[in-house]
């Protein structure tokens, strides 16, 4: 199977040129959007070796909404800065094709209403052929991102009249190994074969694997990993993943839906407002946006929050949750507990100004967030780079003025001088223990800013270690946790879950006789 890269920018100024070499910077959060899950799993941790594999595949360089041109390019170099969460791509342009816009449609005095409609239909068909050629999904043409698509772009070019010029032996010969496959995770399906029973068998090359088979081993392993040096000026938190391979350190708002990209992020404000509008009584006691988001989070609503816990046994319970197929058979899926050693100086509380700034991003439309990003880019391009917004930004930028208005709804005297770095951070936030689930799970949160992402192997603020739980050991560990009163009833306290817990206990007792 062959692949091709899509490098899409918001505007032409994001592409810089030095002689014949062009360069684009991508934030790592935009890497492999609108890309199949097995490819994203391969690149769950970024290494130079894996990034270099992408150089063998041709690249199509585009602009949002197909403005100006689409170019065929050859990637020369890829560099990744884990500290800045930035990927730099250098490439040659081989050939560019001008793309028509709706403004290019010519109308004459002789045009009837029907011919006018037909010309617009023809243009829509033209745009759709471009989307099909690029294998674009949903609203992909409106998103600055780097995708990797499966397919032979040269064969696709041969079948598209607008791009046949790309199907040229001169260009094809520049990619002698473009049909080489990627070392994607292997899939094994138990017998009988069913697409629903697929299990991924691949290892993530992060830190050395630490595997446990009991609660006592788990506690011993935490003590072993949590040395004085690791805990110096840091606080320890935990998170459990029932699927060690497929789950990323990414809040639900940022997650991709299949290969259709971050559909939840695109509609963040409308979804947020819809829930507040339809369930006003549920949020009547919450004035801070952070409190509203934590409430939404615990009802599975996509937010910028990622749950973490100060209770290792709560995290172990989540890691041992068992998935079953349609026949009730347990899936062979390993879990993991992630240990976060977080700098104490970086931990925030629910009433922090930085927390108010990041949470109120939920009230901005997609276009307002883009305007805010442009304003950030303007500040960073100044000499020296500006580190904070100021009053003139509030007066001159409509999106920023709206943003400050939302923050002032909870902090009336807030000054419009936000630190730019705060908006792109991942913040660790200790919330108020006002909700039953937060209390039961000893919950805190990681709060993700505008384009924030957290590397799977951590960074200077968030040191990360992992403990693996093999699927074969999940059931026995859950039984041990139940003896310690860590179970469905105590982790998810509610009348419904208490009833489910009692019912499942009766069924287990009956099955054991």
**pLDDT tens by residue, 174-208:** 999 999 999 987 644 444 333 333 344 444 454 56
Give the pLDDT confidence of 214-230 residue by residue, as tens digits.
Answer: 999 999 999 999 999 99
Give the mean model confidence (pLDDT) for residues 119-148.
Answer: 92
Q: Is the pLDDT of residue 163 over 90?
A: yes
| pLDDT computed for residue 196 by the predictor | 34
**Cβ atoms of 427 and 358 closer than 8 Å:** yes
Angle at 455 between CA 22 and CA 457, to 5 degrees: 125
Give the mean model confidence (pLDDT) for residues 52-76.
Answer: 95
Please name which of 8, 43, 49, 82 lies closest in space to residue 453, comparing C-alpha atoms.
82
| CA 116, chain centre distance (Å) | 42
Give the mean model confidence (pLDDT) for residues 425-448.
Answer: 77
Distance CA 323, CA 237 (A): 25
| pLDDT computed for residue 199 by the predictor | 40
| pLDDT computed for residue 202 by the predictor | 43
Pairing of strands 426-430, 347-349: parallel
Give the mean model confidence (pLDDT) for residues 167-177.
Answer: 96
Query: What is the band of 379 on the pLDDT scale with cuts at 50, 70, 90?
Result: very high
Q: What is the mean pLDDT of the chain?
A: 89
| pLDDT computed for residue 25 by the predictor | 95
What one-character DSSP code corresponds to residue 329?
P
The pTM assigned to this predicted structure is 0.88
| pLDDT computed for residue 442 by the predictor | 54
SS (H, E, C) 239-280: EEECCCCCCCCCCHHHCCCCCCCCHHHHCHHHHHHHHHHHCH
């Amino acid at each position: 199977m062959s692949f091709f890269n899509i490098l899409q920018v918001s505007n032409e100024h994001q592409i810089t040129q030095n002689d014949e070499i062009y360069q684009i910077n991508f934030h790592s959060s935009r890497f492999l959007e609108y890309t199949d899950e097995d490819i994203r799993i391969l690149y769950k941790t970024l290494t130079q070796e894996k990034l270099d594999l992408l150089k063998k595949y041709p690249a199509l360089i585009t602009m949002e909404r197909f403005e100006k041109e689409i170019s065929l390019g050859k990637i020369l170099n890829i560099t990744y800065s884990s500290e800045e969460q930035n990927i730099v791509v250098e490439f040659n342009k081989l050939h560019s094709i001008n793309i028509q816009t709706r403004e290019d449609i010519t109308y004459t005095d002789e045009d009837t209403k029907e011919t006018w409609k037909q010309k617009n239909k023809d243009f829509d068909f033209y745009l759709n052929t471009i989307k099909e050629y690029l294998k674009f999904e949903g609203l992909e043409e409106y998103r600055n991102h780097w995708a990797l698509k499966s397919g032979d772009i040269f064969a696709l070019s041969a079948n598209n009249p607008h791009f046949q010029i790309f199907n040229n032996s001169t260009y094809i010969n520049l990619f002698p190994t473009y049909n080489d496959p990627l070392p994607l995770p292997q899939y094994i399906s138990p017998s009988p074969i069913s697409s629903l029973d697929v299990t991924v068998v691949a290892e993530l090359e992060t830190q050395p694997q630490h595997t446990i088979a009991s609660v006592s081993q788990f506690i011993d392993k935490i003590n072993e990993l949590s040395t004085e040096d690791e805990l110096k000026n840091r606080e320890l938190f935990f998170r459990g993943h029932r699927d060690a391979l497929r789950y990323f350190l990414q809040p639900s708002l940022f997650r991709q839906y299949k290969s259709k990209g971050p559909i939840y992020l695109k509609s963040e404000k409308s979804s947020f407002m819809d829930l507040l509008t339809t369930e006003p009584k549920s949020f009547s006691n919450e004035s801070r946006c952070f409190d509203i988001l934590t409430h939404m989070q615990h009802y599975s609503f996509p937010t910028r929050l990622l749950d973490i816990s100060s209770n290792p046994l709560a995290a172990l319970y989540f890691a041992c949750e068992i998935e079953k197929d349609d026949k009730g058979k347990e899936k062979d899926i390993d879990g993991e507990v992630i240990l976060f050693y977080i700098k104490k100086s970086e931990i925030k509380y629910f009433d922090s100004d930085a927390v108010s700034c990041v949470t109120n991003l939920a009230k901005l439309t997609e276009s307002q967030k883009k305007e805010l990003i442009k304003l950030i880019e303007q500040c960073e391009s100044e000499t020296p780079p500006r580190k904070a917004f100021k009053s003139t930004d509030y007066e001159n930028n409509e999106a920023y003025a709206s943003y400050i208005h939302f923050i002032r709804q909870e902090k009336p005297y807030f000054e419009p001088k936000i630190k730019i770095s705060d908006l792109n951070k991942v913040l660790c936030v200790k919330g108020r223990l006002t909700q039953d689930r937060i209390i039961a799970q000893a919950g805190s949160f990681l709060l993700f800013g505008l384009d924030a992402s957290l590397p799977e192997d951590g960074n200077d603020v968030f040191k990360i270690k992992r403990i693996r739980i093999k699927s074969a050991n999940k059931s026995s560990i859950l039984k041990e946790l139940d003896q310690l009163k860590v179970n469905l009833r105590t982790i998810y306290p509610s009348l419904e879950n208490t009833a489910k817990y009692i019912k499942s206990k009766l069924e287990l007792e009956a099955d054991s006789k």
